[in-house]
Amino acid sequence: MRVWIDQDLCTGDGLCVDHCPDVFVQLDDGIAYVAVRGEPLNDPGGSGSLADVAERDIAAVVQAADVCPGECIFIELEPTFDEMTGS
d(CA 78, CA 41): 20
Q: Measured from the CB atom, is 30 or 82 closer to ligand SF4?
A: 30
Contacting positions for ligand SF4 (CB under 6 A): 5, 10-16, 32, 68-70, 72-73
In the complex, the smallest distance separating the C-beta of residue 82 from ligand SF4, rounded to whole angstroms, is: 32
Q: Measured from the CB atom, is 76 or 83 closer to ligand SF4?
A: 76
Q: Is the peptide bond before 44 cis (omega within 30 degrees of 0)?
A: yes
Q: Measured from the CB atom, is 5 or 53 closer to ligand SF4?
A: 5
